[in-house]
Structure 1
């Protein structure tokens, strides 16, 4: 069975809720605090390829750093460069099983990966 990686920001309530849901289910998972250990461009591209839905959802567009960039959320390369430069722009939480990734908004969405395990 593949281990789920939870891209986690412990200061975010939604991220903490997703973590608790996975713990309650007894699921094997690892936590990656992406602010302490930012993703590389290649890791972000791979994550975007596994992401359910629109890749623009990966970026927190309401943040001042995003607005200052005047970047296009529909351009995956601009999203990658923005998140590499400003890791806090990455939406959280994200659960990733290596084949599929889901954004935990709402946190219960991370449970969609459990069906495959």
Structure 2
């Protein structure tokens, strides 16, 4: 994964591509679909979009919210994907929490230097 730190982390970063200007972007394959997670600067949440292997575009799935709490959750905005998202919610949330924690550790380590 290629991490770009959110704007609220003071760590210097290389010149991001235009796609990375909103913050961190990463991908994971869950339930046979490639999900793209994008950080929203200064918010403890990721926007989630998805793509199927046979499609050349992505569509919004929703958001993983409350990443800075013990109760993160998945909010789905794609009505036709609710059943699929419910089936894979635990894995989607787990992946988002894992990356969130690595970002926080990286920021805290940088601030400690």
TM-score under structure 2 normalisation? 0.26
More helix by share: 1
Rg comparison, structure with higher value: 2
Structure having greater relative contact order (Cα 8 Å, sep ≥ 6): 1
More strand by share: 2
TM-score under structure 1 normalisation? 0.25
